[in-house]
Amino acid sequence: MLKKIIFLKYGELSTKKDNRNFFLKILNNNIKKALNDVTINYDYGRMFIIPKEDELPLIINKLKNIFGIHEIVPAYLLDNKDLEIIKETVLDLLKGKKFQTFKVEVKRSDKNYPINSMDLRKDFGAYILKNINNLKVDVNNPSLTINIEIRVKEVLIYFDGIKGLGGYPVSSLGKGLLMLSGGIDSPVAGYLAIKRGIKLEAIYFESPPHTSEAALDKVKKLAKKLALYNNDIKLHIINFTEIQEEIYKNIPHEYLITIMRRMMYRISAILASRENAKVIVNGESIGQVASQTLTSMKVINEVVSIPVIRPVACFDKLEIIEIAKKIDTYDVSILPYEDCCTIFVPDHPVINPLKEKCLEYEKLINYEDMIYNAIKNKKTITITHNIEEEFQDLL
Ligand code: ATP
Ligand code: MG
């Protein structure tokens, strides 16, 4: 009997030596969660996924979105080790495949099998050449690699795999808090952080009635895109209206953005500490706007001691857009809804803010109470991404 299965290659993870098991355990949990009730077997450190009939495409699609997987390999298990049967089966599986050159790789984990790997390789190669016309062997750059593993109980047959996302399994590096706006940069920053194994929660500052429900909805949609890679995502919504209005009323306008961002950082740091997040992640990109000059970043960053990770700090906008398109956040990000920063944006924001000025101006507002209230009144929702629904839509 021939059984269709999938196995996974881990790439970068397999170089992690002592930590390998730690990473794999988390990856396995993430995969189990994503695949629900699919049967998974383990064999010599390798994970075999046994899909039910017709589930293969959906499962492959799910695996394509899981960080930590280097390659997804659809394979076949044959429970008969008779050489002629193996040959016929391989030939059968090759029908319908388009390739001009090939090589055969044989691994013999059953050391009692009567023929050695080298002879098996030659034998399979000759058999394929005899039975399919116009083929050539190319060991260096074949258009198809045929892998045959003679195992103790069965034979594993597979061809080239599908590229996975790579990176580290989500959660393996702990938790981070993403400052998620409705823009292009922060979802990309979030995606890149998740890729490095950070499980994200997100924080969004809204300023009703200056910002609308539609703007919040846009952020929820972006969070949902990230939830695909993050398993699910907690979104904390902070009402920022009072703080922004007070800043607007009391502080010289060239310092509006600097001080507003210092407040955002302060709130994010408190929330991060409460939620056990080790870092703040945001979409700042050096030089993009006045608040992202090196001086601005320093003066803003000074109000927190938690590390702030800026995955797109050194990317050009076009590079960021390219990733945004790849992860399908771009079309949502460019929807024209106002953000809390854009409403209160001054004509001439300071490019080189001074820390002393910030401290002096901040004395003009009672920001500690306002921050306390904003956090007390936060709303938190958990957003999930159900790929099954999307898959149904595609069918
Ligand atoms: P993006 O940078 O995501 O395209 P943006 O350009 O509107 O959005 P900037 O003004 O460049 O945002 O702000 C830099 C970063 O600060 C954002 O990438 C985001 O991480 C964070 N940020 C800005 N506004 C908000 C907000 N309303 N809520 C949460 N985080 C925000
Ligand atoms: Mg930006």
Closest ligand to Cα 339: 1
- The CA distance from 86 to 315, in Å, is 51
Mutate to test the pocket of ligand 1, among 341, 378, 379 (most ligand atoms within 8 A of CB): 341
- The CA distance from 253 to 350, in Å, is 9
Q: Cα of 283 to ligand 1 centre, how many Å?
A: 6
Tokens 């099954």 sit on residue: 388
Is residue 216 within a helix (H) or strand (E), and if so which, with residue range? Answer: helix 213-230
Within 10 Å of residue 136's Cβ, how many Cβ atoms?
Answer: 11
Q: Name the pTM for this structure.
A: 0.90
User: Is the CB of residue 289 less than 8 Å from the CB of residue 153?
Assistant: no
Smallest CA separation from ligand 1 atom 13, residue: 284
Smallest CA separation from ligand 1 atom 6, residue: 183
Which residues place a Cβ less than 5 A from the ion ligand 2?
Answer: 185
Smallest CA separation from ligand 1 atom 27, residue: 205
Local confidence pLDDT in tens for the 395 residues of the chain: 899 999 998 876 666 667 888 888 899 899 988 888 788 888 766 788 998 878 888 999 999 999 999 999 999 999 999 999 999 999 999 998 999 999 999 999 888 999 999 999 999 999 999 999 999 999 999 999 999 999 999 999 999 899 999 999 999 999 999 999 999 999 999 999 999 999 999 999 999 999 999 999 999 999 999 999 998 999 999 999 999 999 999 999 999 999 999 999 999 999 999 999 999 999 999 988 878 889 999 999 999 999 999 999 999 999 999 999 999 999 999 988 776 656 677 778 889 999 999 999 999 999 999 999 999 999 999 999 877 666 555 55
Question: CA triplet 272, 337, 182: central angle to 5 degrees?
Answer: 25
pLDDT confidence of residue 39: 84
Residue 340 CA: nearest ligand 1 atom is 27
The torsion angle over the Cα atoms of residues 205, 386, 230 and 337, rounded to 10 degrees, is -30
Q: Cα of 289 to ligand 2 centre, how many Å?
A: 7
Residue 288 CA: nearest ligand 1 atom is 11
pLDDT confidence of residue 93: 96
pLDDT confidence of residue 19: 81
Q: Cα of 275 to ligand 2 centre, how many Å?
A: 25
- The CA distance from 157 to 155, in Å, is 6
Smallest CA separation from ligand 1 atom 12, residue: 183
- Adjacent-strand bridge partners of 380: 236
Smallest CA separation from ligand 1 atom 20, residue: 282
Q: How far apart are the first and last CA of the chain?
A: 30
Q: Cα of 191 to ligand 1 centre, how many Å?
A: 15
Is residue 76 within a helix (H) or strand (E), and if so which, with residue range? Answer: strand 71-78
Q: Cα of 358 to ligand 2 centre, how many Å?
A: 22
Smallest CA separation from ligand 1 atom 25, residue: 181
Closest ligand to Cα 271: 1
Q: Cα of 315 to ligand 1 centre, how many Å?
A: 15
For 35, list phi and psi in degrees, rounded to 5: -95, -5
Domains of the chain: 2-165 (3.30.2130.30), 175-394 (3.40.50.620)
- The CA distance from 154 to 151, in Å, is 5
Ligand 1 cavity residues, CB under 6 Å = 179-181, 183-186, 203-205, 282-284, 288-289, 339-341
pLDDT confidence of residue 331: 96
pLDDT confidence of residue 366: 95
